[in-house]
Amino acid sequence: MAISCKIMLLGFCVFGLVSLVSSANFSELFEPSWALDHVAYDGEQLKLKLDNYSGAGFGSKSKYMFGKTTVQIKLVEGDSAGTVTAFYMSSDGPNHNEFDFEFLGNTTGEPYLVQTNIYINGVGNREQRLSLWFDPSKDFHAYSILWNQHQVVFLVDETPIRVYTNKEKKGVPFPKDQAMGIYSSIWNADDWATQGGRVKTDWSHAPFVASYKGFDINGCECPVSTNVVDNAKKCSSTQGKYWWDQPVMAELNLHQSHQLMWVQAKHMIYDYCTDTSRFPVTPAECEHRRW
Ligand SMILES: *[C@@H]1O[C@H](CO)[C@@H](O)[C@H](O)[C@H]1NC(C)=O
Ligand SMILES: *[C@@H]1O[C@H](CO)[C@@H](O)[C@H](O)[C@H]1NC(C)=O
Ligand SMILES: *[C@@H]1O[C@H](CO)[C@@H](O)[C@H](O)[C@H]1NC(C)=O
């Protein structure tokens, strides 16, 4: 996919093209990370396979700070109970940050759930669960993570389903100093994934296959050869060098806010923010949410 100029100023593109990566070719951006015999790429579509021997996964060759990453996924068709397909960003180490999409399979004809979670400095426990407004196993749909210094936004077909806003001024941690890789995997999680773990994976229906296409990373690349401080300096532009640093990207626009309210009103199944048995004290980031 070509890099589009989001902001024009006096006829010039405001952001620099240097170190932005955007492409639809899997092998330029990603590589299989485990169970290579369960990963198949035909030049257009990539398939990850889960059977009773193994799941599979792939990861980005580079790490990134800020930007937007999108992949189109067609989830396991038919009986997907017990399986989890994940698409996520993560940094390394015990104090890692992580932004997760986890698609929880179900028995034939029953709906998938999408669980999102956010880890900051190694701590997660920020689960939300949603149903979708379409069957994600019938067609490819675009799943994206937008990340800048103001917010992390999870999007499904460009509709925001979750926002984690930077509230550092209120003492709430926000992930903004670790470069992250981009990953996907499929694995067996029948101890918890489907109907609370009551429905187990039926291996007679294996292999379970998730399909991918439309790989796109539009972010600030952090070469491993460059040290952490220099990468952070390059990627944390305060002058709006990158499109995701433009003021309009600091929060959802009105239309997107309405979309998010709709999703949360109609499709929210679980929200850790309102789970008072787990969190008698409301987590700080949940206070004063506008939605
Ligand atoms: C994808 O990129 C790789 C590595 O640059 C190249 O060898 C391959 O021909 C490309 N494939 C397609 C379908 O463009
Ligand atoms: C995996 O499933 C296949 C086909 O159902 C079966 O033949 C094989 O014994 C199983 N292997 C293991 C390790 O369970
Ligand atoms: C699976 O289907 C059941 C019954 O419709 C539903 O309660 C559940 O939320 C669905 N999703 C998962 C992941 O269990």
Determine phi and psi for 82, rounding to 5 degrees.
90, -15
Q: How far is the CA of 32 from the centre of ligand 1 (A)?
A: 15
* Burial degree of 61 (CB within 10 A; 0-12, 13-18, 19+): middle
Q: Is 32 a residue whose pLDDT tops 90?
A: yes
Q: 121-125, 218-222, 239-243: which range is least confident on average?
A: 239-243
148-174 mean pLDDT = 96
Q: Catalytic pick from 102, 110, 127, 287?
A: 102
Q: Is 228 a residue whose pLDDT tops 90?
A: no
Q: Is the CB of 203 under 6 A from ligand 2?
A: yes
pLDDT above 90 as % of the chain? 83
Q: How far is the CA of 273 from the centre of ligand 1 (A)?
A: 44
Residues 116 and 145: their CA atoms lie apart, in Å, by 11
Q: How far is the CA of 183 from the centre of ligand 2 (A)?
A: 28
Q: Is the CB of 253 under 6 A from ligand 1?
A: no
Ordered domains of the chain (ranges, CATH): 13-286 (2.60.120.200)
Q: Is the CB of 43 under 6 A from ligand 1?
A: yes
pLDDT band (50, 70, 90) for residue 20: low
Would residue 28 show up in a list of annotated catalytic residues for this protein?
no
Strands 20-21 and 141-147, by their bridges, are unpaired
Q: Is 289 a residue whose pLDDT tops 80?
A: no
Q: What confidence tens digit (pLDDT) does each residue in 79-119 have?
A: 999 999 999 999 999 999 999 999 999 999 999 999 999 99
Joined tokens for residue 104: 């929880």
Q: Is 16 a residue whose pLDDT tops 80?
A: no
Q: Catalytic pick from 28, 31, 77, 98?
A: 98
Q: Is 8 a residue whose pLDDT tops 90?
A: no
- DSSP of 46-67: EEEEE-SS--EEEEESSEEEEE
Residues 198 and 210: their CA atoms lie apart, in Å, by 23
